[in-house]
Structures are given as structure tokens and as C-alpha cells.
Amino acid sequence: MDLSYTPEEEAFRTTVRQWIAANAPKRSDMRDLDAARAWQRTLHKAGYLGVGWPAEHGGAKLSKIEQGILNEELARANAPGVINSMAIWWVGPAILKYGTEEQKQRFLPRILNAEEIWATGYSEPGSGSDMAAAKTRADRQGDFYVVTGQKVWTTIAHISDWYFVLVRTSTEGPKWAGLTLLLMDLKSPGVEVKPIRQITGDSEFNEVFMNEVKVPVTNRLGAEGQGWEIVSSALINERSGIAGSIRADQSLAKLVALAKQRRLTRDPIWRQRLSDLAIRTQITKASGFRSMTNDLRGEMNPHLSAGLKLLSTELTQKFSETGADLLGVDAQLWEHDAPDDGKVAYTFLYDRSMTIAGGTSEVQRNIVAQRVLGLPRK
């Protein structure tokens, strides 16, 4: 693969970099939902959201390479993410691929302009990342499904309007065959959202309880029993991409700077540890480019995306663990007089979730072992 960019692509990078410098707010300014919506709408108005979506549904007129460059530059500038990212990555593409024309007209414009925020409901108590074990039941009664069950670890459900939720409509055949995907209004009677207090003190994740919630059959995405296919296709979008390699470079640079500040760069043990992180960073970058190559060729490689998710999230944890070790006892400080305003301590705690969200490392290892290495399943 030729890893160089054409003059036209480099010109696009310059344009994007200048636009971000002029328009991107600071992360510290993203204090409420209104500010988050405004930033997403700014990106949308500039034509930087919905790449790959048809123009009639508000899609950005960018090539896949330009999307990759945009993602790189947003990461390089440490620009805020978009509040409706899960809907843009998962829900919107799934509706475009499996939805009816009425569903596309109803939901897609409101996703891009952040008018309606989406959460995604997969994990359940007792099943974790084993989506095929979902027990939340949806029984069809005329023109409605009646849904009862519980989801857990649902990101931003407490501020969301709609739910991209995996439910069980049948218990016959293989367990994955009876799953269906519904588009549920979170303001429906019978829905209760309970934020979960995390070790960082935040409450980004939630429990969602559904007690006989009525969902119109017209809000079913795809056919009954097609939920496993829809969700599996959607998750590939989360686990692929190259922007993560920019963030890895930034994390590595911060650690090297911290090691210099602590006068540890001549210590052979620390030199070896930082070198190991540098090697892993390069592997992550190469894997990201491979994923991007597959995308440019129109190839779907869920096995690579599983490996990349495993590699990148465990590397993220190694970064925060290394930062904490470099600071020693100072890493326990949380107040604003702590080193780096306590960000190292916060990041260390937050990153514990990285190998759980989007599919646990254990699940990713099983995918790689069975589908890439061909190892037998006990």
C-alpha cells in the first residue's frame, strides 16, 4: 500500500486543519448538551458529517480518504467528539442499509443535526458482551411489539431520545437467530433510565429498564430475526479507523515528556517500557491503515476490526498505567494542584472501561482465535 497522500489530499488536509483551528471549541467549553449539539451542527453545516450517506439524506460529499484525513486532524487538534457519534457510526448506517424509506426520512436528518440523540442497547445483566444471550423480550401484539427486559452499560441513555435496541422475538433455533432490532422512543411509557455512578464520579453509563413498552412494528429495523446481522455490521464501524493512531502518538509523546520531566529517560527499565509502547503504537497505526485499505476496497473484515479493537483498547490502558507509574504517589492526587490537573488519575480510572465497552477483550480474543487462527472451540 502507498501510504503517501496526493497533492489534492494534502491540500484538503490544510483546508481542514485551518477550519478546525477557526471553528473547533475547546473541550472545556463543552459543558452542556446545548453546546454539544451546537458543535455537531457546526460540523454538519461545514459538510463534515455523514460521509458515505446519500446526499439526499444530508451526507457529506467526501471521499473515504478525505474522511480519514478529517478524522486524523480532529484527533490531532484534540477537538471535541460529536454528541450523536453512536447514531452517526451505527444507527444511521444501519437505517440506510436495512431501513424503509419512511424510516430514513423520519430519522436520518434528525441524527445529523443532533435534534434527536441516540443510545444503543446490547449488553444485559448476566450476559455482558455476549449479545446472542440477550433475554429482553419483544412479543408482537397486532401493530406493536411489547418489550420487557433490562439493558446495562448503555452510554448516554440519560440524555438520549431514541434507543437502537436488540431484543428477542423468538427462542427457536440458534440463540442468535431469534434477535430483532427495534427503534424505541425512550420517552415511551414503561421506560426507566437509571444512571450508574462510575469510579471516576461520572455517570456516562446507564441501566435501562423496559416494562411492557409498546414499540410500533413500523419501528422494527429489517426483518424479525435479522438483529444479529444488523448489530454485527454496525459494530465494525466502531472498531475500525485510523484516528486512534493519532491519539496513540499523542499519548506516547506525553509519556515521553513526563519521563523527561521526571529524569527517567536514562533509566534502562523505563527506556524499555517506553520503547515497548512505541512499538505497539506503530503496530496500531499499521493495523489502522490496513483497516482503511479494506474499506477503500469495499471489503468487510470483522476479524481485523476485532483484533484492532483488542489491540487499541489494551494499549490505551497501558498508556494510562504507565502515566500513573511515572507519577508514583502523585498519581493518586485528584485536585487541581495535582500534576497535569489530575488528568492522569482521571484517565487511569476511566480507561478501565475501554476493554469492556464495544465488546470485551475476552470476546475479541475468542473472535481472533476461532475465526482468524482457526482454533477449536471447547
Domain with residue 327: its CATH number is 1.20.140.10
Residue 112 is assigned to a structural domain of this protein = no
Chain centroid to Cα 236, Å, comes to 10
Residue 54 is assigned to a structural domain of this protein = yes
Please, what sign has the CA dihedral across residues 168, 173, 175, 176? negative
Residue 11 is assigned to a structural domain of this protein = yes
Grid cell for residue 124? 444485559
- Angstrom distance (rounded) from CA 106 to CA 284: 38
With the CA atoms of 219, 225, 229 and 230 taken in that order, what torsion angle do they form, in degrees rounded to the nearest 10?
10
Q: Are 321 and 255 in contact (CB under 8 A)?
A: no
- Angstrom distance (rounded) from CA 280 to CA 311: 8
Residue 99 is assigned to a structural domain of this protein = no
- Angstrom distance (rounded) from CA 3 to CA 6: 10
- Angstrom distance (rounded) from CA 311 to CA 316: 9
Give yes or no: 101 in active site: no
CB under 8 Å to 19, separation ≥6 — which residues? 46
- Nearest-5° angle of CA 182, CA 127, CA 321? 110
69 is in which domain, residue-wise? 7-83
**Annotated catalytic residue: which of 207, 224, 229, 238?**
238
Q: Which of 167, 200, 225 is the last residue of a domain?
A: 225
Do 220 and 267 lie in a common domain? Answer: no
Per-position pLDDT tens, the chain of length 378: 566 889 999 999 999 999 999 999 998 888 899 999 999 999 999 999 987 788 889 888 888 888 888 988 999 999 999 999 999 989 999 999 999 999 999 999 999 999 999 999 999 998 876 788 899 999 999 999 999 999 999 999 999 999 999 999 999 988 889 999 999 999 999 999 999 999 988 899 999 999 999 999 999 999 999 999 999 877 665 544 555 678 889 999 999 999 999 999 999 999 999 999 999 999 988 887 887 777 777 776 667 778 888 888 999 999 999 999 999 988 888 766 666 666 888 899 999 988 887 778 888 888 888 888 888 876
Do 192 and 248 lie in a common domain? Answer: no
Instruction: Please report, for residues 107, 108, 145, the alpha-carbon distance to residue 91 in angstroms, rounded to integers and kept in the order given.
Output: 9, 9, 20
Q: Directed axis angle between helix 64-76 and helix 243-261, to 10°?
A: 20
Overall pTM > 0.75: yes
Residue corresponding to grid cell 488528568: 343
Do 132 and 162 lie in a common domain? Answer: yes
Do 244 and 220 lie in a common domain? Answer: no
The pLDDT value given to residue 236: 63
- Angstrom distance (rounded) from CA 242 to CA 255: 21
| Percent helix / strand / coil, the chain, rounded to 5 | 55, 15, 30
Q: Which of 22, 56, 83 is the last residue of a domain?
A: 83
Do 261 and 368 lie in a common domain? Answer: yes
Counted domains in the chain: 3
Q: Which of 184, 199, 225 is the last residue of a domain?
A: 225
CB under 8 Å to 129, separation ≥6 — which residues? 122, 123, 356, 359, 360, 362, 363
Residue 162 is assigned to a structural domain of this protein = yes
Do 300 and 334 lie in a common domain? Answer: yes
**120 three-class SS:** strand
Residue 61 is assigned to a structural domain of this protein = yes
Do 124 and 76 lie in a common domain? Answer: no
Q: Are 256 and 280 in contact (CB under 8 A)?
A: no
Do 364 and 255 lie in a common domain? Answer: yes
Q: Which of 193, 181, 185 shows the shortest CA–CA distance to 213?
A: 185
Do 155 and 31 lie in a common domain? Answer: no
Grid cell for residue 179? 434477535
